[in-house]
Structure 1
Amino acid sequence: MPEVTISIGGRNFEVSCQEGEESYLHSAAKMLDTEAQALASQIGRIPEPRMLLMAGLMLADKTAAMEDKVSSVEEQLSAVQAELTALQNKPAPAPERVEVPVVPPQVTDTLAEIAARTESIAAAIEDKSRAAD
Structure 2
Amino acid sequence: MAKADITLRGRTFSIACAPGQEMRVQRLGEQLDSRVSQISAAVGDIGDERLLLITALSLLDELDSARRGVSSRPETDARAIEILLAMAGKVEALASRLENDN
SS in structure 2 opposite 1:23? helix
CA RMSD of aligned residues (A): 1.9
The structure with higher relative contact order (CA 8 Å, sep 6+) is 2
Rg larger in structure? 1
Listed one character per residue, the Cα deviations across residues 56-110 of structure 1 (whole Å, up to 9, x for unaligned) are 111111111111118xxxxxxxxxxxxxxxxxxxxxxxxxxxxxxxxxxxxxxxx
Q: Distance in 1 between matches of 2:3 and 2:54?
A: 25
Higher strand share: 2
Q: Distance in 1 between matches of 2:40 and 2:2?
A: 30
Which residue number in structure 1 is paired with residue 94 of structure 2? none
State the identity as a percent.
27
Partner of 1:9: 9
| Residue 25 (structure 1) aligns with | 25
Could you state the TM-score of these two structures normalised by the residue count of structure 2?
A: 0.57
Q: Deviations over 1:1-59 (max 9, x none)?
A: 22222112333222111111112212221221121011211222332222222111111
Equivalent position of 2:37 in the other structure: 37
Alignment partner of 2:69: what SS?
helix
Structure 1 gap ranges (5+): 71-133
User: CA–CA distance in 1 between the matches of 2:33 and 2:44?
Assistant: 14
Residue type of the partner of 1:60? Answer: L
**Structure 1 Cα separation of the partners of residues 5 and 46 of structure 2:** 21
Q: In structure 2, what residue type is equivalent to 1:40?
A: S
Match of 1:63 in 2: 63
